[in-house]
A and B are shown apart, each in its own frame.
Chain A
Amino acid sequence: MTTSTQPTSLDRRTVLKSSAATAGAATLVAGSGRATASRGPFRHGVASGDPLPHAVVLWTRVTPTDAATPGSGVGPRTSVTWQVATDRAFRNVVRSGRAATGPARDHTVKIDATGLRPARWYYFRFRHRGQSSPVGRTRTAPARDADVANLRLGVVSCANLQAGWFSAYRHLADRDDLHAVLHLGDYLYEYAPGEYGYGRENADIRPHRPAREMVSLADYRQRHGQYKRDPDLQRLHAAYPFIVTWDDHEVTNDQWRDGAENHQADEGGYRVRRARAHRAYDEWMPVRMNGTADLRDGTRLFRRLSFGTLAELSMLDLRTHRDQQVASSVPESPVGPYADPELSDPDRTITGRRQMDWLKDSLARDRAQWKLVGNPVMIAPVTFGSVPRDLIGPVNDVTGLLPDDGLAYNADQWDGYTDDRREVFAHIRDRGVTDTVFLTGDIHSGWACDLPYDVGAYPAARESAGVEFVCTSVTSNNLKDITGTPPGTSSRAVETAIMAGNRHVRYLDFDNHGYSVLDITPARVQMDWYVIGDRADRRAGVRWSASYACDSGTQRVRPVGGPVTGPVEVPAREGGA
């Protein structure tokens, strides 16, 4: 929990101060002359993602003419060359090639660079008509059978450009001790200016472009282009490979299989809109959809990435295959409000059958030790305690936890699809699966939870299926932003009430924005929460707020006195970092 309103600089111990740090992202990007290119063919930066032991996705967007802006559909077909080297001076180029692009793909370039060695840092760049892109740095995953000592990920979610500056990205890019960045969704938002911004007044710190809710393909492309111009996000993309999934706002709010809360009939068919959003996402994100870096060959986003015997990360798509959300309760009843039985209807799903079977395959003892799940919405059950009535509305605005009738279900989370959760937890228990960690975004607050098989019996039985760590938002409003109250006041009351009523919730922070760092070793998984200052301040500082860990074999979280520090450990048999 944080109580300070004035974050200080990031603890210097967490950042390498040696000369090695100068090989990091900031210098790499700055090597092109400035942190970001406002003009030239590579003004949207470079990115990499989905690291495998021998391959990684490389991305850029070329602007061959000033008129060829994102979503414009204009500009010539053209091509770029690309290089991958083991050194940032590109003296040892190990892979290279040429890629064609054009307006049909919004001039984006996406390469699956193969033939690389496991657990290695690489540098990459693109060239177009004699001009070079900023240099990016990326890292391949360890070999599948490697005995890996450590994996460290930055963890982020919910970055609403209108709500503030991406200081969390900037501070994460300043670190030089990660292997990759995990983005758990809401990478961009669909809203028009004035609809969802900073604080109670929804002020636009930076208005969205286009100046309307994104609906058309051109809208989605232009919005992606706007986000990719953010200097902090560009630096982070250039520093580390990203591993991403989407939540709802990549299409529109509270989307489900055939619709969304923020989709109206006059906006056309929902499936058409979603196809546009997915197409733009495939074009603009360094991700393999349907297992490839090719475009238009499918939009399956759930996939696994392995990190030796230490960990396997299963990234979920909890929007495309889910049934429609139901109301959390049935208020009009002679006996008062009661939980809508549809919440636990076994015919309703949040994963879809195919993804559920795939997830259960991921959760097997003979796979890697730590079963990490990139989980866009919370899976821990959350029930209502005695939250003050005047805070129910604001809490619900942030989390959806507390409908006005007081029944405690967020029907947009796994709490709204309890039979799917029961199936996952039963599988874990029946198969003796240990060391499962759900990594979650979505609700603009930090949480550390055990995952009880039986909430009612949990205080005594302490039987847990795994743990869940929830990162807070990069900028999207949290409880104090909506109530307009100082940090540690009204939100503290809510946090206390919810934790008292949910003994498996061990940490809760409704006040802050920032990023997290997940550090994984065979002995334990630890999540550190870092919080930034005012989102309206583009130079906002950052400080460590809290840390929780889960020791192997325990399926429970425990508080930790401080964040991980120092460089990432490099297993001797993997060679240098």
Chain B
Amino acid sequence: MASTGSPSATGSTSVTGPASVTGGVGRRSLLKVAGAGGAGLLFSSALGAPAAAAGGRRCYVLVLDGLRPGEISGGLMPNVRALRDGGRSFPRASSLPVAETIPNHVMMMTGVRPDRSGVPANTIYDRRLGEVRELDRPSDLRADTVIEQLNRTGRATGTVLSKEYLHGIFGERASHRWEPQPLVPVSGHAPDQFTMDAAISMVEEFDPHLVFVNLGDVDRVGHSDVSGTTLALARRAALVSTDQQVKRFVDLLKDTGRWERSLVVVLADHSMDWSTPGDLISLQPVMDADPLLAGKVRIAQNGGADLLYWVGGAKRREAAVARMRALAERHPGVLVAHDRAAQRSSLRLGRRAGDVVVWCRAGWRFSDPDATANPIPGNHGHPASYPIPFFLAGGHRLVRAGTTSSAHAHTVDVAPTVARFFGLDAPPGGWDGRRRI
């Protein structure tokens, strides 16, 4: 498909109006497309991005952000369930620490753990800048991605990521990118309806070999709603809605003949846990009340995980880490406080994750630097939020349709699976994940 011209509408999906090139910005061109709801969809493409040849293998990675595996069987997601049951399912699948959105999306596309990618959490304390910040910059991602690998082979790639920070960190890596909008205030994500409009338009307009899609509604409903009983209702509504969006995408593949040559990887980046208003953990005041630690500990709060950074002298670091761990583990609701360096081989988080990594128990959440910092009940990052759905669908023969495996799949397995599908090599040092086809 060419990157300009009028897209053809297919069935009930997507593009209803003309597309137009709105101009070039730096090394990219912009394309504005009218989505199904009438809203404009803005794509940017790398200049010289390859036009995908018709036919051939296609891979689509659909991330249903924050979906719990049991929710697929709960009756509200019949289309996702049918997709799972008709494909190859991995019911034992897990998110990886820190069970947050950015690091797990990065693991999906790099196939390596955070100590190699440089992306251990959504939020870190940046020692160089002296501030807590999100890892939302393209330069934060220090590993190669299958997106770039495919680009180098002359194939086309696309990203349709509903969240601003995901759009940020993956930057201009893909040949074609959707810039998420409209964005919901507070949540910073585009509703699934628009995201799926974009995914469908992306396929119809550019037909990339690989499209990486994040649908954020299920996760964002869990985070944003603080009104108690309405939370469950909103979550249920999001499940139903997201299920319909997935159906739209599958219909597109089937209606356009892509299904039989496609691998569709469906998974979540993490699960979801809910805390009650009183079950808060604020470690900053605890650290600041300690004579050794006062003023010398910075905390990057990641919902169910706190990353603690010692900013005092190196000579006292060992004692400080021991004290931080002891104080944290004494706090109600804390599950465990890890010495990150001592457990580097199991945690695989790297230096950017700080000195002490603290998980909370189920039903709790961190709120740092103080109790007002994190008002939202929906929570992840801790081990309670590890279980995720993970299955392979699509009509390609490599998908062992209608099977289930006890293998322990992880988010980091996506890249080696995609690489296997397209015949790409492992990166120097090998994959940290395992291919699932």
* A residues with CB within 8 A of B: 147-148, 308-311, 365-366, 368-370, 426, 429-432, 434-435, 521-523, 551-556
* B373-425 with Cβ < 8 A to chain A: 382-387, 389, 404-408
Give 14 pairs: A residue, B residue, CB < 8 Å, sorted on A.
Answer: A147-B407, A311-B406, A365-B92, A365-B408, A369-B91, A369-B408, A426-B361, A431-B386, A522-B89, A522-B92, A553-B72, A553-B387, A554-B70, A554-B73
- Top 4 A-B pairs ranked by shortest CB distance? A552-B91, A553-B69, A432-B386, A369-B406
Which residue of the partner chain A has the closest CB to B389?
Answer: A553
Residues on A with beta carbons closer than 8 Å to the beta carbon of B59: none
Complex contact A432–B69 (CB within 8 A): no
Complex contact B70–A553 (CB within 8 A): yes
Assembled-state Cα–Cα distance A344/B111 (Å): 47
Distance (whole angstroms) from the CB of B164 to the closest CB of chain A: 28
Assembled-state Cα–Cα distance A369/B383 (Å): 16
Complex contact A429–B92 (CB within 8 A): no
- Is B245 interfacial (CB 8 A cutoff)? no
- Is B341 interfacial (CB 8 A cutoff)? no
Complex contact A434–B387 (CB within 8 A): yes
Assembled-state Cα–Cα distance A365/B99 (Å): 14
* B79-93 with Cβ < 8 A to chain A: 89, 91-92
- Is B271 interfacial (CB 8 A cutoff)? yes
Complex contact A432–B408 (CB within 8 A): no
Which residue of the partner chain A has the closest CB to B71?
Answer: A553
Complex contact B407–A430 (CB within 8 A): no
Residues on B with beta carbons closer than 8 Å to the beta carbon of A555: 70
Q: How would residues 233 to 273 of chain B score, 1 for a CB under 8 Å from any chain A CB and 0 otherwise?
A: 00000000000000000000000000000000000000100
Distance (whole angstroms) from the CB of B276 to the closest CB of chain A: 12
Assembled-state Cα–Cα distance A554/B271 (Å): 13
Complex contact B91–A435 (CB within 8 A): yes
Which residue of the partner chain A has the closest CB to B271?
Answer: A432
Q: A369-B406, A553-B70, A554-B73 are in contact. Are A522 and B91 (CB under 8 A)?
A: yes
Complex contact B406–A148 (CB within 8 A): yes
Contact of B406 among A147, A365, A366, A551 (CB under 8 A): A147
Distance (whole angstroms) from the CB of A458 to the closest CB of chain B: 14
Residues on A with beta carbons closer than 8 Å to the beta carbon of B404: 521-523, 552
- Is B335 interfacial (CB 8 A cutoff)? yes
Assembled-state Cα–Cα distance A270/B83 (Å): 60
Residues on A with beta carbons closer than 8 Å to the beta carbon of B73: 551, 553-554
Assembled-state Cα–Cα distance A551/B94 (Å): 17
- Is B362 interfacial (CB 8 A cutoff)? yes
Residues on A with beta carbons closer than 8 Å to the beta carbon of B387: 365, 432, 434, 553
Distance (whole angstroms) from the CB of B66 to the closest CB of chain A: 14
Q: How would residues 13 to 52 of chain B score, 1 for a CB under 8 Å from any chain A CB and 0 otherwise?
A: 0000000000000000000000000000000000000000
Known pairs A429-B363, A432-B94; list 16 more (Cβ under 8 Å). Answer: A147-B405, A308-B406, A365-B94, A366-B408, A368-B406, A430-B384, A431-B386, A432-B385, A521-B404, A522-B91, A522-B404, A552-B69, A552-B92, A553-B91, A553-B389, A555-B70
Contact of B384 among A311, A370, A429 (CB under 8 A): A429
Assembled-state Cα–Cα distance A383/B91 (Å): 32
Distance (whole angstroms) from the CB of A203 to the closest CB of chain B: 48
Residues on B with beta carbons closer than 8 Å to the beta carbon of A556: 70
Q: Which of A310, A426, A430 has the most CB atoms of chain B within a 10 A radius of its CB?
A: A430
Complex contact A523–B384 (CB within 8 A): no
Residues on A with beta carbons closer than 8 Å to the beta carbon of B408: 309, 365-366, 369
Distance (whole angstroms) from the CB of B355 to the closest CB of chain A: 23
Residues on B with beta carbons closer than 8 Å to the beta carbon of A370: 406
Assembled-state Cα–Cα distance A434/B90 (Å): 13
Complex contact B70–A309 (CB within 8 A): no
Residues on B with beta carbons closer than 8 Å to the beta carbon of A148: 406
Assembled-state Cα–Cα distance A429/B94 (Å): 14
Complex contact A429–B70 (CB within 8 A): no
Contact of A434 among B89, B92, B362, B363 (CB under 8 A): B92
Distance (whole angstroms) from the CB of A286 to the closest CB of chain B: 27
Q: Which of A148, A368, A521, A552 has the most CB atoms of chain B within a 10 A radius of its CB?
A: A552
Q: A148-B406, A551-B73, A553-B70 are in contact. Are A369 and B385 (CB under 8 A)?
A: no
Assembled-state Cα–Cα distance A294/B69 (Å): 45
Which residue of the partner chain A has the closest CB to B402?
Answer: A523
Complex contact A523–B383 (CB within 8 A): no
Residues on A with beta carbons closer than 8 Å to the beta carbon of B389: 553
Assembled-state Cα–Cα distance A311/B91 (Å): 13
Assembled-state Cα–Cα distance A434/B70 (Å): 10
Complex contact A430–B405 (CB within 8 A): no
Residues on A with beta carbons closer than 8 Å to the beta carbon of B91: 369, 434-435, 522-523, 552-553
Residues on A with beta carbons closer than 8 Å to the beta carbon of B363: 429
Q: A147-B406, A368-B406, A522-B404 are in contact. Are A431 and B70 (CB under 8 A)?
A: no
Contact of B92 among A369, A430, A431, A554 (CB under 8 A): A369
Assembled-state Cα–Cα distance A546/B108 (Å): 43
Residues on B with beta carbons closer than 8 Å to the beta carbon of A366: 408
Complex contact A309–B361 (CB within 8 A): no
Which residue of the partner chain B has the closest CB to A432?
Answer: B386
Complex contact A431–B406 (CB within 8 A): no
Complex contact B92–A435 (CB within 8 A): yes
Residues on B with beta carbons closer than 8 Å to the beta carbon of A147: 405-407
Residues on B with beta carbons closer than 8 Å to the beta carbon of A310: 406
Complex contact A430–B406 (CB within 8 A): no
Contact of B383 among A431, A522, A554 (CB under 8 A): A431
Which residue of the partner chain B has the closest CB to A522?
Answer: B404
Q: How would residues 85 to 110 of chain B score, 1 for a CB under 8 Å from any chain A CB and 0 otherwise?
A: 00001011010000000000000000
Distance (whole angstroms) from the CB of A524 to the closest CB of chain B: 9
Residues on A with beta carbons closer than 8 Å to the beta carbon of B406: 147-148, 308-311, 368-370, 522
Residues on B with beta carbons closer than 8 Å to the beta carbon of A551: 73
Assembled-state Cα–Cα distance A130/B361 (Å): 64
Which residue of the partner chain A has the closest CB to B386?
Answer: A432
Residues on A with beta carbons closer than 8 Å to the beta carbon of B89: 522-523
Complex contact B384–A432 (CB within 8 A): yes
Assembled-state Cα–Cα distance A308/B386 (Å): 22
Residues on B with beta carbons closer than 8 Å to the beta carbon of A554: 70, 73
Which residue of the partner chain B has the closest CB to A521?
Answer: B404
Assembled-state Cα–Cα distance A426/B364 (Å): 12
Contact of A432 among B72, B383, B405 (CB under 8 A): B383
Q: Which of A435, A521, A553 has the most CB atoms of chain B within a 10 A radius of its CB?
A: A553
Residues on A with beta carbons closer than 8 Å to the beta carbon of B405: 147, 522
Residues on A with beta carbons closer than 8 Å to the beta carbon of B92: 309, 365, 369, 434-435, 522, 552
Complex contact A309–B362 (CB within 8 A): no
* B171-207 with Cβ < 8 A to chain A: none
Residues on B with beta carbons closer than 8 Å to the beta carbon of A434: 69, 91-92, 387
Distance (whole angstroms) from the CB of B433 to the closest CB of chain A: 15
